[in-house]
Amino acid sequence: MWELCGRSEDPFLNKEQFFTGLYSLDSEPEQAETSEASLALAASRNQRYKRIVRRSSRLQVASSNSTTKISSTALESIRSTSIQAFTKNISTAAPEPVVSENNINMADSTPDISAVTTAPSTAPASLECTPRHLPPPESSRILPVHTKVAKRKRTPVVPAKKQIFGGMYFYFIPNDIKNPVRKFRVQKADEHGGFCLKEWREQDITHIIVDSKLKYSDVLKSLRREFIPDHIAIVNDTYISDCLAFARILNHDQFQYKVAGQPSTTENSFLLPQPHSPPLSSTPSETPLCDQQSSSATTQSLHIRPQLSKRANDTPSSAAGDRPTDSQLAVEAELKASVTTDDLVSQQLAAELLSTPGPSTTQECEVKDELDIMIAEAVRMGDLPLDDDISAPDDGGTSSDEEPIRAVKRKKPVARTGNSKWQDKFQCMHANDGKQQEGNPNARTIEILSEMQKYYEMTKDQWRSISYRKGISVLRKQTKKICTAAEARKLPMIGESLAKKIEEIVETDRLRKLEYAQLEPGDVALKLFLGVYGVGPSVAARWVQSGYKTLDDVVKNVRLTASQKVGIDHYQDFASRIPRDEVKRHGDIVMSTAANLDSQLQLQIMGSYRRGSKDCGDIDIMITKPGVSAQEISGLLDELIERLFEIGFAMCGLAMSRGRDDGSKWHGASKLLDVPTWRRIDLLVVPWDERGAALLYFTGNDIFNRSMRLLASKKGYGLNQRGLFKDILRGPQRQKLNDGTKVAGDSEEEIFEILGVPYRKPEERIC
DNA sequence: TTGCAGGATAG
DNA sequence: CTATCC
DNA sequence: GCAA
Ligand SMILES: O=c1ccn([C@H]2C[C@H](O)[C@@H](COP(=O)(O)OP(=O)(O)OP(=O)(O)O)O2)c(=O)[nH]1
Ligand SMILES: [Mg+2]
Residues A600-617, mean pLDDT to the nearest whole number: 96
Band (pLDDT 50/70/90 cuts) for residue A738 is low
> Does the pLDDT value for residue A486 go beyond 60?
yes
Ordered structural domains, chain A, with CATH: 160-257 (3.40.50.10190), 441-519 (1.10.150.110), 522-573 (1.10.150.20), 576-688 (3.30.460.10), 692-766 (3.30.210.10)
Walk across the sheet containing A195-197 and list its strands: A195-197, A169-173, A207-210, A233-236
A73-107 pLDDT, tens digit per residue, is 233 333 332 333 222 232 322 232 332 223 222 22
Q: Is residue A162 annotated as part of the catalytic site, yes or no? A: no
Band (pLDDT 50/70/90 cuts) for residue A330 is low
> Does the pLDDT value for residue A207 go beyond 60?
yes
User: Which residue from A676, A577, A516 is spatially nearest to A69, judged by alpha carbons?
Assistant: A577
A702 CA → ligand 1 middle, Å: 5
A649-688 pLDDT, tens digit per residue, is 999 999 998 766 677 899 999 999 999 999 999 999 999 9
Active-site choice (A188, A258, A460, A501): A501
Residue A63's contacts (CB-CB under 8 Å, 6 or more residues apart) are: A701, A702, A703
What atom in ligand 1 is closest to the CA of residue A721?
27
The answer to whether strand B lies under 7 Å from the CB of residue A726 is no
- If one compares A332 and A513, the residue with the highest pLDDT of the two is A513
Q: Whose CA is nearest to atom 8 of ligand 1?
A: A700
What pLDDT is recorded for position A614? 95
Q: Is the dihedral of CA A110, A116, A117, A121 positive or negative?
A: positive
> What percent of chain A is modeled with pLDDT above 90?
32
ipTM beyond 0.95? yes
Contact residues of ligand 1, CB 6 A cut-off: A 63-65, 607-608, 613, 616-618, 620, 697-702, 705
Identify which of A61, A616, A620 to mutate to test ligand 1's pocket (most ligand atoms within 8 A of the CB).
A620
- If one compares A663 and A160, the residue with the highest pLDDT of the two is A663
Q: What is the mean pLDDT of chain A?
A: 64
A334-360 pLDDT, tens digit per residue, is 565 543 333 333 433 333 333 333 323
What pLDDT is recorded for position A522? 83
Residues of A 604-663 whose CB lies less than 7 Å from any atom of strand C: 607, 618, 620
> Does the pLDDT value for residue A509 go beyond 60?
yes
A708 CA → ligand 1 middle, Å: 14
> Does the pLDDT value for residue A182 go beyond 80?
no
What pLDDT is recorded for position A392? 29
Residues A493-505, mean pLDDT to the nearest whole number: 94
Band (pLDDT 50/70/90 cuts) for residue A332 is low
What pLDDT is recorded for position A145? 34
DSSP string, A530-550: HTSTT--HHHHHHHHHTT--S
A583 CA → ligand 1 middle, Å: 15
What pLDDT is recorded for position A249? 84
CA distance A528 to A169: 31
Find the ligand nearest to A611 CA: 1
* Strand nucleotide closest to residue A713 (CA to C1'): B5
Band (pLDDT 50/70/90 cuts) for residue A170 is confident
User: Which residue from A682, A679, A712, A680 is spatially nearest to A698, judged by alpha carbons?
Assistant: A682
What pLDDT is recorded for position A291? 30
Contact A626, A603 (CB under 8 A): no
pTM attached to this predicted model: 0.57
Residues A27-32, mean pLDDT to the nearest whole number: 29
Residues of A 417-476 whose CB lies less than 7 Å from any atom of strand B: 463, 466-467
What atom in ligand 1 is closest to the CA of residue A607?
19
In angstroms, what CA-CA distances link A561 with A21, A385, A667?
37, 50, 15
A706 CA → ligand 1 middle, Å: 11
Q: Whose CA is nearest to atom 4 of ligand 1?
A: A702
Residues A7-32, mean pLDDT to the nearest whole number: 29
> Does the pLDDT value for residue A181 go beyond 50?
yes
Find the ligand nearest to A693 CA: 1
A704 CA → ligand 2 middle, Å: 14
What pLDDT is recorded for position A746? 92
**Phi, psi of A666, rounded to the nearest 5 degrees:** -140, 130
Identify which of A702, A705, A719, A722 to mutate to test ligand 1's pocket (most ligand atoms within 8 A of the CB).
A702
A225-245 pLDDT, tens digit per residue, is 667 777 888 888 778 777 776
C1’ D2 / CA A475, Å: 15
Q: Whose CA is nearest to atom 1 of ligand 1?
A: A702
- CA atoms within 13 Å, Cβ hemisphere of A681: 30
Q: Whose CA is nearest to atom 16 of ligand 1?
A: A607
> Does the pLDDT value for residue A157 go beyond 80?
no
Q: Which of A327-341, A414-428, A453-467 has the lowest average pLDDT? A: A414-428
